[in-house]
Amino acid sequence: MNTFQDLGLNQDLLQAINDLGFVTPSDVQQKTIPTLLQQETDLVALAQTGTGKTAAFGFPMLQKIDVDSRTTQGLILSPTRELCLQITNEMQLYGKYLKGLNVTAIYGGASITDQASKVKKGAQIIVATPGRMKDMISRRLVDITKIEYCVLDEADEMLNMGFYEDITDILSHTPEDKSTWLFSATMPQEVATIAKKFMHQPVEITVGTKNQGSDQVSHEYYLVNARDRYSALKRLADANPDIFSVVFCRTKRDTQKIAEQLIEDGYNAAALHGDLSQNQRDLVMKSFRNKQIQMLVATDVAARGIDVDDITHVINYQLPDEIETYTHRSGRTGRAGKTGVSMVIISKSEQRKIKSIERIIKKEFIKKDIPNGMEICEVQLMSLANKVHNTEINHEIDGYLDNINELFEDTSKEELIKKFFSVEFTRFFNYYQKAADLNVSGDDRSDRSERGASQGSGNSTRYFINVGKRDGFSWTSLKDFLRECLQMGRDDIFKVDVMDSFSFFNTETSDMPKVLEFFTDFKHEGRFVNVEVSEDKGKQHSRGRSKGKDRGKRKESTGNFFDASKRDKRSDKSSKKDKRKSKSGLERPRRSRR
């Protein structure tokens, strides 16, 4: 099958397909559409994000429903508001020649009264997020007791977001003899459970291999010290001047922090996370789709439902906790037949995760080096040269040429070119000429021996922190908390000892300024968390021993940890630091707003 005509679609749908410019159906569409048109069946389809799943279930549903009836016959559940609106828009475009078709979107953050009114007018198809749908069912504002088709789109994402109970509750209000079509990019156990519980002998369609990554996406990883992660991110952006990317972080706090740093350093960036209001999310996504934002820094939950075909890069600033989540991240690029790149910035302690991801997605990662300063300068120079070469002449400039020619009448062509390009080149050259090499060796054994030597030689600093067992921390959870806050690797924080109301930990001495600066006026769950250098510097403590000794040292060395004057002094010092200074002491060049 090479054309949509071969799939068995009616003329109204084929006309809409022609208007949309679709020519050849994707693999998932070729396998799914004829199956759903020819029989009433449950179906499980596994295919990567961006492979055309909406059309795969949308066209069969539109052809099978009765548009002359005002009864709700089709329900499509999707994980996010953005995806809900996207599906609704696409379904309306597919059914533009179906007279009387009403596809209604139901989602949170909008007037429930207006949505109920649209449903009451006769919505044959409802596209909904689980939370709002469950709310409207409980208020008896919708009736799905007679639906014939139910689609669970991005089922794995809905379950990852904690919608299992909502989905099961919604499905309990639907007829048992309906056809259920489940579409998912991965097949974790939770999705298999849903299929087994609510579906009867479903037809299974798999495009590629279960959980496999898209063939349109190449995968790269960059090995750096944890403290150099942000510098590595900036270099990757500078080495790709036309980058249009999503940068993934694990937490909302990191997302906001990295976005603010990028903006301060002159990049066109913005944050997308759950603490934003719906209006803020809409503004950010509108700017991103219009390419006013080149780097969208997002959490995994907030990024679900992003459907922008031209994303060139996905950058994993931090790897996700669940390996399957990486499949969703990388699926944001390489869409609609285009190629994309998924980059991962990791520290040595995370190398083993790359192998685990490779086994899941059936794709090999290529280890690449963070480009050095002169390589970036060359890339930026040639990018500017190509833009100038391809720029169309605006003849409104003609009236000013005499004055310009007079100014440069004694300048040769070669000298003029040098002067012109030096304006941009000098900014990057001054910043990068003394830039350090951020790449580190991937030899785990040498890494362990070096780290063991440094820890054993006393080249570490011990800290006091005013949280402990009473705050719910164990030594493992405190270590994870510190790693996440400080963006350090697993082995960068060690000798963690947790007492009832306070704790101790060590880092390499070179990390001390970073640790103290981060925990200046830092609050966790509304309480100040204070970290100070303990007088017991670098001495080894086994867990559960020397508690009294540590407590005594703490009292002698630092006094009251709520001493506001100490915090104020450290805050004053840190506020004077120029955050746009590189390691060489040079100010980073402000990027031109593109």
pLDDT higher than 70, residue 453: no
pLDDT band at 212 (very low <50, low <70, confident <90, very high): low
CATH numeric code, 445-562: 3.30.70.330
How far is it, in rounded angstroms, from Cα 103 to Cα 290?
A: 26
Percent of the chain with pLDDT over 90: 39
CA atoms within 13 A on the CB side of 550: 29
pLDDT band at 559 (very low <50, low <70, confident <90, very high): very low
pLDDT band at 305 (very low <50, low <70, confident <90, very high): low
Q: Which residue has the tokens 């995994």?
A: 300
Q: Which amino acid is at 518?
A: F
CB-based contact 49:303 (threshold 8 Å): no
Who has greater pLDDT, 446 or 374? 374
CB-based contact 571:521 (threshold 8 Å): yes
The three-point CA angle 391-288-346 to 5° equals 100
CATH numeric code, 217-372: 3.40.50.300
Query: How do 340-346 and 313-316 pair as beta strands?
Result: parallel
**Phi, psi (deg, nearest 5) at residue 66:** -100, 105
81-94 helix and 11-20 helix, angle to the nearest 10 degrees: 120
Q: What is the pLDDT of residues 24-78, one digit of tens each?
A: 888 889 999 999 999 899 999 888 766 788 999 999 999 999 999 999 999 999 9
Please report which helix (H) or strand (E) contains residue 234, including its range: helix 229-238
- Would you state the pLDDT for residue 117? 94
- Strands in 494-498's sheet, in edge-to-edge order, are 494-498, 503-508, 460-465, 531-533
Percent of the chain with pLDDT over 70: 84
**Of 388, 376, 397, which is closest to residue 417 (Cα–Cα)?**
388
What residue spans in the chain does CATH classification 3.40.50.300 cover? Answer: 4-206, 217-372
CB-based contact 106:137 (threshold 8 Å): no
End-to-end CA distance of the chain: 43
Question: 4-206: what fold?
Answer: Rossmann fold (3.40.50)
Beta bridge partners of 462: 506
Q: How many CB atoms lie within 10 A of CB 311?
A: 22
**Of 96, 118, 94, which is closest to residue 106 (Cα–Cα)?**
118
* Cα–Cα separations (whole angstroms), residue 179 to 13, 146, 171, 196: 21, 12, 12, 14
pTM exceeds 0.85 for this model: no
Token duo for residue 115: 């949505």
pLDDT band at 82 (very low <50, low <70, confident <90, very high): confident
What residue spans in the chain does CATH classification 3.30.70.330 cover? Answer: 445-562
Segment of 11-25, 205-219, 470-484 carrying the highest mean pLDDT: 11-25
Q: What is the pLDDT of residues 521-556, one digit of tens each?
A: 888 877 889 899 986 544 444 333 333 334 333 333
SS3 at position 43: strand
Q: What is the pLDDT of residues 483-512, one digit of tens each?
A: 888 888 767 888 888 888 899 999 988 888
